[in-house]
Structure formats: C-alpha cells, structure tokens
Structure 1
C-alpha cells in the first residue's frame, strides 16, 4: 500500500509539472492559458494567444459587448476532437496542432461561440455553427495559412449542413442585398426570438426561397 501511494504521489507530481498556467490581460480581456502538453510547440501557443487578443475584441464589438471578459484555453491531452467550447472555456487537442500548426483560426471560430452565448433552445444548431464559421471567414487572421476556405456551391448541399456550407450561404446573403443579416440572426438567437419566420422578417423571403436564389447564382 505504501508503495502504491508513493507511485500515485509521483504521478501527481509529474502531472503538475507537465501542466503550465499563464494569465494574460490586454485591453480589458483576460486569457488563462493552461497547457497540459509539455511538448506543445511554443510558437503555436504564441500564435493562439495572439489570435485571441486580435479577434475576440473585434467579435465582441461587432456582436456582443456583454461577452465574457475572461476566457480560458486548455491544451487538453485527453480531448480527441479538434476543439470544443463551453462555459467560457475552449479545449484544444494538441495532436491537431502537431498535424496542422497553421490552423490558428480554430480560435476565431471557437471564441465566437463565447461571444454568441446563446441560451438553450434558442434556435437551430446549423445557424450557431454557420455564424461561427462565417465569422472565421470574415475575421480570421490566417485562413490561407491553414488552407481553410469556404467550399464552392454544389447542388447536393443544404443550408442545414452548418459550418462552412452555411457560412458561405450567409456570406452570399451579406453580399447580395441583405447586409447585416448575420448580426440580426445572431441577436435573434441570443434573445431567443428566432423563429422560422425570422428570415422573412429580415429579408422578405423564407430561408428556402433565399437558398433557391443562392443556388441560381452562387458566386460570392
């Protein structure tokens, strides 16, 4: 038993040494950066931090000035996705950045979810993810460096596919007579006033009619 306790103590000590924590504040926003991977590239870490302080204030100014002032990033060795956000905490998979070190605008997408702060049952998930990817397209600092872009339109697509497909549809709407629709949708979701009729209220057309217009002339 004594031996087992000693082994556990050593493991806990090693884990504590492996995890680092930084607190950085700029222009009223604080980022807590927790790194559980002692092999994580310091250059990538610095780019993630820089991206946060570049895009988060812009997202807040454009969409929600009441967004959280304190955000936590965790380089999470137990997380196997790409990134996930909840309760003002974003977890990143370090393995993703070993394979894709240029994909720093994952930050732009994820912290937009903090800005969104949509309550439960506020509206469709495809709008949530579509807006976050639209903001990555609109405000990203190095999408080209990650090889990230909006996909060309295909007849097999649907606006409900979310992420980049929905984001491209939103970008098209912004450039084809409906400027400001993304901010209006974002506000409707946050205030839980979104309904299927919201599209018609904002644009004069249903979302299906708008998608048909987009399909007929999808050039951005």
Structure 2
C-alpha cells in the first residue's frame, strides 16, 4: 500500500508538471500568444494584463517597425528566473517575483516584445542602442507607464548615450523631436539589416554622434 501511495503521488506530480508546462493559446488579429506559467500563485489579473498588452502593442510595433516579424510568440512565467524579463527566439521570459513586487509594471511587455520585433543579427550594432530603442518604444507605445511609475529620467551631467535603456531613450526622443523625425526607425532598420555604422549619425543628421550628444546635453542642462 505504501508503494502504491508513493507511485500515485509521483504520478500526480508528473501530471501537474505536464499541466504547468502546457501553454494556453490565445489568438487575436492574426497573432498567436502561447502562455506558459510555472507559478500557480501568479496573479490572474497581472496575467490578463500581460496578454491584453501583447495584443494591443505587438501588432502595432510589427506594423511600424518590422512587418516580417513572427506572428506567434510565447510568454513564459519562469519561477527560476530572478531578473525582470528577457526576450529571444520568439519567447519572453518573465520573473513572477518581479510582478509580485511590481504588479503595475505591465509595459515590461512593450519593451520585451520590441526585442522580438528588432530581431537584430549577431553584432548588428551597439547593445546600448538596442536597449535604448526598446525603451524609446516603451515610452512611445506603452499602455500604462504612469501606472508603473516609469518615466524617462531627467538629464544629469554624469550621463552618456552609452548608458542604454532610459537614458539613451531620452536622447533618442530628443533627436526625434528636434533633429531628425523618423531617425529611430532608420537606426532600427540599419541594425536589423546589419548596415549600421558609426557614420549613420552624420549621414542622417549632419553631425557625429558625439556632437549630437553634446548639443543635447547643453540644451537639456538648461531646461
């Protein structure tokens, strides 16, 4: 009887494990989202918002930046993952711990699915620009950055365009507004087609990257 009980317990654990790995499939607007959740305590409201944000944002980013992007994406809530989120190979991995602590940070989705849209080849260009574009997109297309308490930081003299993420995103926003509208899309395309060079900045704007940063820094310091 004891052996039977152990076997039944192992079988139950195996079934639960299989069920936990079986994705829920959602389809909308010609796109498919597979949702795999390893955390039985994951907030259903957060899950619903992750799914909703995907279908609100991803098709728009595909249309605006890369129409050849994949149409099927997987979201994976991974209990072993301790950072925030990461994207690669058509999958976004999320930390359940992050969302327990920051349930309103729903535009993590916007940043990460932009990485799927980017799909830059190896050594396409600088990593700081990859992350800067993704945060620029989060700023421009995010569904609830305010609710997450997320914003682009004020300029500080210690900053540099290579700091990536929000610092680079704020620089890109300034470039779009005051120097060259459409520059972010041009940079994104150059990275994806592996045609990015340091000379792209002067070709597109008439100034080198360092000169652009100096002008940005001088104006931002006055505001």
Alignment of 1:61-140 (within 5 A): 61-140=63-142
The answer (yes or no) to whether the contact 2:20–2:36 under 8 Å persists in 1 is no
Q: Which residue, out of 21, 31, 34, partners 2:33? A: 31
Alpha-carbon offset, residue 203 of structure 1? 0.7
- Which whole-Å deviations, capped at 9, do the CAs of 1:55-98 have from their partners, x for residues lacking one? 10111111000001000000111111100111000000011101
Alignment of 1:135-214 (within 5 A): 135-214=137-216
Change (3 A) 1:12 1:183: same
Q: Which residue, out of 199, 215, 218, partners 1:216? A: 218
Aligned with 2:23: secondary structure? strand
Distance 1:141 1:3 in 2: 50
Distance 2:6 2:184 in 1: 57
**Structure 2 length-normalised TM:** 0.93
- Which whole-Å deviations, capped at 9, do the CAs of 1:124-167 have from their partners, x for residues lacking one? 00010000000000000000000000000001000000000000
Deviates more, 1:24-33 or 1:107-116: 24-33
Work out the number of aligned pairs and report it. Answer: 220
- Which whole-Å deviations, capped at 9, do the CAs of 1:85-112 have from their partners, x for residues lacking one? 1100000001110110000000000000
**Structure 2 regions of 5+ residues with no counterpart?**
none
**Structure 1 length-normalised TM:** 0.94
Aligned with 1:12: secondary structure? helix
Aligned Cα root-mean-square deviation (Å)? 1.9
Alpha-carbon offset, residue 17 of structure 1? 4.1
The answer (yes or no) to whether the contact 1:20–1:36 under 8 Å persists in 2 is no
Distance 1:210 1:130 in 2: 16
Distance 1:47 1:65 in 2: 24
